[in-house]
Amino acid sequence: MSAAGVPGHGPGGASGRPGHGRRTDAGAHRDDARTGHGPLAGIRIVELGGIGPAPFAGMVLADLGAEVIRVDRPAEAGRATAHPVLHRGRRSVTVDLKRPGGAALVRRLIASADAVIEGFRPGVAERLGLGPEDCAEGHDALVYGRMTGWGQDGPLAQEPGHDINYIALTGALHAIAPAGGDPVVPVNLVGDFGGGGMLLALGVVSALLRARATGRGQVVDAAMTDGSALLLAMTYGFLARGAWEDRPGVNLLDGGAPFYGVYRCADDRHVALGAIEPPFYAALLDVLGLAGDPAFARQYDRTAWPAMKARLTAIFATREREAWAEEFDGRGACVTPVLSLTEAARHPHNVARGTYRRGALDAPEPAAAPRFSGTPGAEPADAPVIGADTHEVLAALGVTDEALTELRRDGVVGSA
């Protein structure tokens, strides 16, 4: 089906596309668990379906109250998402971006939005007719968020990669290793989510604030290499003033210090020590009966660290993790048990704070964060079945039932 077969489309593009940087009213926002609450209430964001960090950004924005409409492939319509946490709080439509009329339909949806986010390799969105210039035509205030590993330019821009590759090139992976040992893979937190999706969400919100003030949108180029490098700001600051050695496992915050690290207990579980400041260090020594031990008298004497670490290793190996947790409870020594994912959701502090919630699969998942005193968000809605909102969203754009039937027949949209 051609673009001309979609109501509101023709040679001049989508009708109703704002000409003065203002979003159209197509598809009025609904006041349910997915919209109408939180500091971003009233903001509409279109997410071009992808994996990993871009969906994480969409989740964060949805948790903060934005109406996020995710566009997935028609072939997936009717299926439960494989990412029930990352895809929560969305509305879901299925459009084939490669078929005639598909990109035009999505451009029309974007014309009703404040922002769009995508995580394609550089140039893919442009080839689909959904690049920044395509989408911002007549929509001056549109914010266009782009999520990649290497960035939109540079020698590696077109190369494939994953979190581990991006953090390898920024020094982050090198810094996460025991002394003399191999780098430790830190799950995909540093590149994908901390340096990727979270940075994209911040960039989109920042650009939206600017657009509100000036009526001009812009492109947000969020790269996981840039973001993971940014997360190393304090470390690079230490390095610049000679307070950090450029080798892992010998520094204050990388496990080199005996009072800042992880120790194995008698039951092969672990405790974490963070007794950096003198009062906390004194409390640590007091609990362990080491307060008068001369071997621990000079906390920051690096020549004494190996012997101190060996002694602490032997001490913590004598008791089980929970016994140590009880021993240190309320003592102000910055010592905590290292909990598993399932244990963390049951810890009394996390339960009291509501840090975790029960999701669609009746399993723990992180709750929305941060918290707002004046504009608290709603409980995140469970991830929808893929394509569940296709009819409702497109009907709100003015697509008739007859046109929608034709779009389905032509494979442009899918049926949930």
Residue 1 has pLDDT above 70, yes or no: no
- The model's pLDDT over 188-213, given as tens digits with 9 standing for 90+, comes to 999 999 999 999 999 999 999 999 99
| Active-site residue identified among 72, 134, 163, 192 | 192
- The model's pLDDT over 315-362, given as tens digits with 9 standing for 90+, comes to 999 999 999 999 999 999 999 999 999 999 999 999 999 999 998 788
pLDDT of residue 240: 98
Q: Tell me, what DSSP letter sits at residue 372?
A: -
With beta carbons less than 8 A apart as the criterion, state whether 57 and 205 touch.
no
Give the residue range(s) of CATH 3.30.1540.10 domains in the chain: 260-353
How many angstroms separate the most distant Cα atoms in the chain?
85
Sign of CA dihedral 206, 207, 212, 214: positive
| Active-site residue identified among 29, 162, 174, 391 | 162
Average pLDDT, integer, range 33-50: 86
pLDDT of residue 4: 32
pLDDT of residue 36: 62
**The whole model's pTM is what?**
0.90
Would you tell me which CATH number, out of the four given (3.40.50.10540, 3.40.50.880, 3.30.420.10, 3.40.630.10), belongs to the domain 3-230+366-409? 3.40.50.10540
List, in sequence order, every residue forming a beta bridge with 44; answer none if it has no partner: 67
pLDDT of residue 220: 98
Residue 152 has pLDDT above 60, yes or no: yes
CATH 3.40.190.10 describes domain 260-353: no
Give the residue range(s) of CATH 3.40.50.10540 domains in the chain: 3-230+366-409
Residues 6+ apart with CB under 8 A from 47: 54, 55, 58, 68, 69, 70, 71, 90, 116, 117, 118
The first and second tokens of residue 117, run together, are 């986010």
- The model's pLDDT over 217-227, given as tens digits with 9 standing for 90+, comes to 999 999 999 99
- The model's pLDDT over 359-372, given as tens digits with 9 standing for 90+, comes to 878 899 999 999 99
Average pLDDT, integer, range 10-28: 38
pLDDT of residue 211: 98
The overall average pLDDT reported for the chain is 91
pLDDT category of residue 12 using cuts at 50, 70 and 90 = very low
- The model's pLDDT over 271-320, given as tens digits with 9 standing for 90+, comes to 999 999 999 999 999 999 999 999 999 999 999 999 999 999 999 999 99
Active site residue 192: yes
Q: How far apart are CA 325 and CA 316, in angstroms?
A: 11
pLDDT of residue 25: 46
With beta carbons less than 8 A apart as the criterion, state whether 67 and 34 touch.
yes
Q: How far apart are CA 254 and CA 380, in angstroms?
A: 35
pLDDT category of residue 415 using cuts at 50, 70 and 90 = confident
Residue 5 has pLDDT above 90, yes or no: no
Q: Tell me, what DSSP letter sits at residue 107?
A: H
- Say what percent of the chain tops pLDDT 90: 89
Active site residue 162: yes
**Residue 308, CA atoms < 13 Å, CB-side half-sphere:** 26
Residue 20 has pLDDT above 60, yes or no: no
Residue 121 has pLDDT above 50, yes or no: yes
- The model's pLDDT over 74-119, given as tens digits with 9 standing for 90+, comes to 999 999 999 999 999 999 999 999 998 999 999 999 999 999 999 9
- The model's pLDDT over 123-151, given as tens digits with 9 standing for 90+, comes to 999 999 999 999 999 999 999 999 999 99
From edge to edge, which strands make up the β-sheet containing 115-118?
90-94, 67-72, 44-48, 115-118, 143-148, 219-223
What is the Rg, in whole angstroms, of the alpha carbon atoms belonging to the chain? Answer: 26
pLDDT category of residue 6 using cuts at 50, 70 and 90 = very low
Q: How far apart are CA 382 and CA 88, in angstroms?
A: 5
